[in-house]
Amino acid sequence: MIDYTLKLADEAAFDALLASAGLEASETVLIDRIGPIEWNGASYPEFYVNVRLTGEVTPEQTALLDTVAINPMQPQYRVWA
């Protein structure tokens, strides 16, 4: 199982990323579309997404997702239950 928090320019960029990675929402690809964030007076206009992969992931898919994953040292905006 791999959890990602991704940051992209907009929702269309995320949809294109999923298509190019050959991934789609399913029982093994769980997607939480957050979108832009307004929090504590601050605005984060980028499109944020949490993705949990519970099935097999290829090295190519991992490499592609890693290009837009938020650095683990940055704050995370969702905690998986």
Can you read off the two tokens belonging to residue 27?
A: 């029982």
Q: In whole angstroms, give the CA distance from residue 73 to residue 19.
A: 28
Q: Are strands 2-8 and 29-39 parallel, antiparallel or unpaired?
A: unpaired
pLDDT for position 80:
56
Predicted confidence (pLDDT) per residue in 28-40, tens digit = 999 999 888 888 8
Q: Which strand ranges, in their side-by-side order, compose the sheet holding 42-53? A: 2-8, 42-53, 29-39
Averaged pLDDT for residues 16-26: 94
pLDDT class of 78 with cuts at 50, 70, 90:
low
Instruction: Measure CA of the first residue to CA of the last residue in the chain; give whole Å.
Output: 14
pLDDT at 72 over 60: no
Averaged pLDDT for residues 65-79: 73
